[in-house]
Amino acid sequence: MLEDISAFCAIVKFKSFSKAAKELGISKPVISRRIMRLEKQLDTRLLQRTTRKVALTEEGDLYYKEVSEILLALETSKKNIKSLNKEVSGTLKIGAPASISNLYLTQFINKFITEYPNLKIQIVNGNHLFDLLNNGFDLVIYCGELPNSSYHYKKIGTWKKITCASSEYLKKYNTPKIPQDLQGHNCLDHYDNINRTWKFSEKGTINELQIKGNILTNSSMDLKNLAVNHIGVAYLPDFTISSELKNKKLISILSQYQLPSLGIYAVYPTNKFLSKKTEVFIKFLTQFFDT
């Protein structure tokens, strides 16, 4: 309907079907069909046409006054968006956990750079990312309780730690009913978990359970793959294993002992002069996580 309205307004502006068609880059028969379609939709005649001139009917005059303002607002909005996109340029440096980068950033970043074609992206993966903010990075994505720092942040989502294993593993070694049962299982752990403990909530109290296993790795994605391949029990963020839980490659266990939800944060050096590129990227991130 918008193209019909545009055709109508062009005719009113030029007082000619031919000139309006030329302005819009379409043929005179096409613009005539658009006007006929618009009048049919509105069930009223908008234009009086003779061989010499085109004039507005009373209804057409009222309609033009209303829709011309709408078209002007749309055109202004379009110009503003284009202006915003031109402002977003330079290089955006991002630090992110490997699982977030693999499952979200690299999967959907094409949409972002299509909207902001003048922007270049640099992504560094890791688990200890705060130092990057002292070395020219614009923001890092952090999962968990924020340490005390002078940095600013925006909460962009929540997540939970899930204890999981494959159904084949659980059939072979039995499903743990309480956290303490894990001490008889092969627990696949993150290399950075120096204490080798997993946390569980029991009757409102958070307890740490000593675990043991035969594999350590510094990658949540590796732990997920090991669990999928029936090696043992893993303790992972829900966003890392969401698809595996849906397709039953992994089974969530001990769900009644899960810890409360934790936050996912976009952390940046300052918010006093937050760059446009950082601002629009944070807005882009929020669509992937439940806040």
- In this predicted model, what pLDDT tens digit does every residue of 215-247 receive, in sequence order? 999 889 999 999 999 999 999 999 999 999 999
Cα–Cα distance measured from residue 211 to residue 184, given in angstroms and rounded to the nearest whole number:
9
2-86 folds as: Arc Repressor Mutant, subunit A (1.10.10)
Residue 246: predicted pLDDT:
94
Unique residue bearing structure tokens 């039953």: 248
89-159+263-286 folds as: D-Maltodextrin-Binding Protein; domain 2 (3.40.190)
- Pick 26 or 289 by higher pLDDT: 26
Tell me the average pLDDT across 8-17.
Answer: 86
Tell me the average pLDDT across 112-130.
Answer: 86
Cα–Cα distance measured from residue 102 to residue 221, given in angstroms and rounded to the nearest whole number:
9
Q: What does CATH list as the number for 161-260? A: 3.40.190.10
N-term to C-term CA, the chain: 36
CB distance 275 to 153 below 8 Å: no
pTM for the model stands at 0.64
Residue 76 pLDDT exceeds 90: no
Q: Residues spanned by CATH 3.40.190.10 within the chain?
A: 89-159+263-286, 161-260
Residue 224: predicted pLDDT:
96
